[in-house]
Amino acid sequence: MGKVIVFCCDAAYYGLNMVSKLIELPEDVEVVRVPCLGRVEFEAVVRALLDSANVVLAGCHENNCKNIDGSRLAKMRVELLRRMLEFVGMDADRVKHLEISTYEGLKLAEFLNEFAAR
Amino acid sequence: MDLVEVAKKLFDEGVEVIIGYQGNFNVKPIFAKANEVDKLTFNPLCIYNLTNYLTMEGFVDKVDKIGVVVKGCDSKTILQLLDENAFSRDKIVVIGIPCNGVIDVNKIVEEIGEFREFKDNEFKIKWEGDELVVEVNGKSYKFPKDKILLEKCKVCETPNPVVYDVLVGNLIQQPHRKEEFKAVKEIESLSLEQRWEFWIKEFEKCIRCYACRNVCPLCYCESCVLERLEPEFVRRAVRLDENIAYHLIRAYHLANRCVGCGECERVCPVNLPLSLLNKKVAKEVKDLGFSEFLKPIEVGR
Ligand code: SF4
Ligand code: SF4
Ligand code: SF4
């Protein structure tokens, strides 16, 4: 089991919080709360990868981002990074982008359990 | 009008300095003042993308009007820089040169000899159709275009400047060739393991001199992420993982901005195939259709 860093925007973070009594997150999962996924720098994700963590970016659905473009920006960054990783022969599946609303905390928690067990 | 005549006219009209090329074989950049106008030249050895100097810290603020000599590819940098508000349009006079391509000098040295064997002013070089004609030491040499052209010129889509105020020479009718991402596709066709093997060999060579960053006309952020200590996304250590981080980040910062001038690859002392990464990113950005979306937000500050 590897370390997982999950960047959550406010919405996804509240979602996770709401289900914290229902479902536990594995120890290796570190939740980093950010105001908006659009703020998560490409560099930060690369850094995390090289420090041998797998990375998840969880935030609003594309058209439901309170900062309008944040979610789309994150999606773009992750997709571009994944394609670059593939190109240099690295495992692209170490980085994921998930669209999670406040009411989908359970979905996120379940995903993280699976992802951490990878 | 030839380059010198054009330049003379511009100096008369109030241009203070022209960034151009000087020399014949030994081509160097020159910041020409009015009294040095005769030194300005252009030939198939004028490889440098001179627009890099426009973003030197404080330079455009110190000079009223700057002339800059650009080939087709270099001119794209100017458009990009203007897009990013790097300087105001009325500061610069773009001297555009429709370009037949520039060459890899190493490919002719073998036949014509090293520089020390002749004087710079006894050296002549020019395109004649699909041949390069070189005259030196009283002898004349011919080289077929395909053999000596730089890779980037073989796939150049814009031999004519895309932005200019004055033009030297006539517009070229046909673009040279089309960019089809051949080299990128070749790597893509390898297996994951093969790609990894290919790239570690390359990334391991990198000595992190940052020449590729410094020469890039579009790497001009005052505060570069590579020098940031808090948070320190890329550590100073020169080893494989940090090198990979550097190269991913460099290529990403140029996503949708890189104009493919090839300067980064040219200056690399260990010959990393940087264009390959740049092109890959260019291809994906295009494919993902993010260019329009990227523009107003991602200016790489
Ligand atoms: S890329 Fe095009 S414009 Fe640039 S030097 Fe080559 S042929 Fe000339
Ligand atoms: S110029 Fe070459 S060696 Fe220097 S940092 Fe760039 S890729 Fe590395
Ligand atoms: S990354 Fe290289 S090819 Fe692209 S603009 Fe910069 S120097 Fe030119």
Q: How far is the CA of B208 from the centre of ligand 2 (A)?
A: 5
Are both B40 and B83 inside the same structural domain?
yes
B92-96, B109-113, B164-168: least confidently modelled range: B109-113
B154 shares a domain with B36: yes
Domain that holds residue B243: 182-293
Question: Does residue B174 form part of some domain?
Answer: no
- Mean predicted confidence (pLDDT) in B4-12: 96
Q: Identify the residue among B181, B233, B286 best suited for mutation to test binding to A, counting A beta carbons within 10 A and taking the highest.
A: B233
Residue B300 within a domain: no
Q: How many domains does chain B have?
A: 2
pLDDT at residue B175 in the model: 65
Quick: pLDDT tens for B55-65: 998 899 999 99
Q: Which of B142, B114, B98, B123 is nearest to B23 (CA)?
A: B123
In this prediction, residue B222 carries a pLDDT of 87
Say whether pLDDT at B298 is over 70: no
Same domain, B154 and B214: no
If asked whether residues B154 and B196 sit together in one domain, one would say no
The pLDDT assigned to B297 comes to 47
Q: Residue B237 burial (CB < 10 Å; 0-12/13-18/19+)?
A: exposed
Half-sphere exposure of B293 (CA within 13 A, CB side): 16
| Same domain? B256 vs B159 | no
pLDDT bracket for residue B295 (50, 70, 90): low
Q: Can you give the pLDDT at residue B259?
A: 92
Q: Work out how many domains chain A is built from and give that number.
A: 1
Residues 6 or more apart whose CB falls under 8 angstroms from that of B297 comprise A69, A73
| Cα B274 to averaged position of ligand 2 atoms, centre (Å) | 9
Same domain, yes or no: B17 and B87: yes
The mean per-residue pLDDT over the stretch B72-96 comes to 94
Structure confidence at residue B33 (pLDDT): 96
For residue B142, give the 3-state DSSP assignment. strand
Query: Is B112 within a domain?
Result: no
Nearest CA to ligand 1 atom 3: B72
Q: Determine the Cα–Cα distance for residues B136 and B117; give it in Å rounded to an integer.
A: 10
Give B230-243 pLDDT, tens digit per residue. Answer: 889 999 899 999 99
- pLDDT of B265 > 80? The answer is yes
Residue B97 CA to ligand 3 center (angstroms) comes to: 20
Contact yes or no for A79 and B294 at CB 8 A? no
Pairing of strands B124-128, B131-136: antiparallel
Best of B53, B218, B266, B281 for a ligand 3 pocket test (most atoms within 8 Å of beta carbon): B218
Model pLDDT, residue B118 = 84
In B146-298 the beta strands, taken as DSSP E runs, fall at 166-167
Bridge partners, A64 (sequence order):
none
* pLDDT for residue B219: 95
What is the mean pLDDT of the segment spanning B82-110? 93
pLDDT of amino acid B120 = 87
Does a structural domain hold residue B108?
Answer: no
Output the CA angle B170-B175-B177, nearest 5 degrees.
Answer: 150
Q: Tell me what the mean pLDDT of segment B282-294 comes to.
A: 81
> Are B15 and B76 contained in the same domain?
yes
Q: Are residues B213 and B289 in the same domain?
A: yes
Same domain, B225 and B94: no
Q: Tell me the mean pLDDT in the region B190-203.
A: 97
* Range of the structural domain that residue A92 is part of: 4-117
Query: In angstroms, rounded to a whole number, what is the distance separating the alpha carbons of residues A2 and A49?
Result: 11
CATH of the domain at A109: 3.40.50
Nearest CA to B19 among B58, B73, B65?
B65
Q: Is the pLDDT of residue A35 over 60?
A: yes
Output the pLDDT for position B294. 56
Residue B10, pLDDT score: 97
CA distance A50 to B5: 55
Q: Verify that B217 and B156 share a domain, yes or no.
A: no
Question: Is the preceding peptide bond at B231 cis, omega within 30 degrees of 0?
Answer: yes
A84 contacts B288? CB cut-off 8 A: no
Atom of ligand 3 nearest to the CA of B262: 3
Indicate the pTM of the whole model: 0.90
Structural tokens at position B177: 């060739």
Distance from CA of A68 to the nearest CA of B (A): 12
Query: Where are the extended beta strands (E) located within B54-179?
Result: 66-70, 92-96, 124-128, 131-136, 139-144, 166-167
Q: Is residue B259 part of a domain?
A: yes
ipTM over 0.90: yes
Residues B220 and B244 in one domain: yes
Helices A105-116 + A10-18 axis angle, to 10: 90
> Is the confidence at residue B299, as pLDDT, over 50?
no
Q: Which residue has the higher pLDDT, B156 or B246?
A: B246
Percent of residues, chain B, with pLDDT higher than 90: 74
